[in-house]
Amino acid sequence: MSHDTKHPKLIQLTHWLSAILILGLFILGIWMVELSYYDPWYQRAPNIHKGLGVLLAIIMLARLLVKVVQTSPKPLENIAAWQNKLAGLTHILMYLCTFIILISGYLISTASGKAINVFDMFSVPAVLSYGNEQADTAGLIHQYTAYVLIGLVVLHILAFIQHQFILKDEIIKRITPIK
């Protein structure tokens, strides 16, 4: 596969790292909101969730920077133009949802004025802190946007399955080091 049909290596790396983190954070988020106050994971799970969220933010910013400075591969020629446009729109919506989730997560985590401790390596300071109202509003945005993102991820995976196993155009080679 030629250079103009594959994503740059850094995009490939950030794609898979962000995919793992997004799915992991979603599963962790669903699980942790069901924990009782007396559960031993009640404090630990949100701290892990916040730390992974900050790491995802760093990865997504790097990914966005690379997308701005490097060219994307040409659209697949065997796909209708409307499908390529729909795929592009889906990617934009996934980026948008991810950044909305990251920002709202930050607003939830810093509503009390406390910094986010990232695995005892560094902290992200609280810039805006308006208390419970901020946390509640940001929490709703965070939750519902996460559901939208996971819906888009499911569509993304279904499109991959169609390309890989029905159309057999080996689209996986565009986003992996596979030759």
What was the pLDDT predicted at 1?
Answer: 46
Which one is predicted more confidently, 3 or 17?
Answer: 17
DSSP 74-138: PPPTTS-HHHHHHHHHHHHHHHHHHHHHHHHHHHHHTTTSPPEEETTTEEE------THHHHHHH
Look at residue 2 and tell me whether its pLDDT is greater than 50.
Answer: no
In 143-175, which positions are buried (b, 16+ CB within 10 angstroms) versus exposed (e)? eebbeebbebbeeeeebeeebeeeeeeebeebb
Q: Would you state the pLDDT for residue 5? A: 78
Residue 115 binned pLDDT confidence (cut-offs 50, 70, 90) = very high
Q: Is the model more confident about 78 or about 145?
A: 145
| 3-174 placed in CATH 1.20.950 | yes
pLDDT of res. 129: 84
Domain residue spans in the chain? 3-174
Whether the pLDDT of residue 35 is over 50: the answer is yes
Mean pLDDT of 76-94: 90
Q: Which helix (H) or strand (E) holds 27?
A: helix 9-32
Residue 57: pLDDT band with limits 50, 70, 90? very high
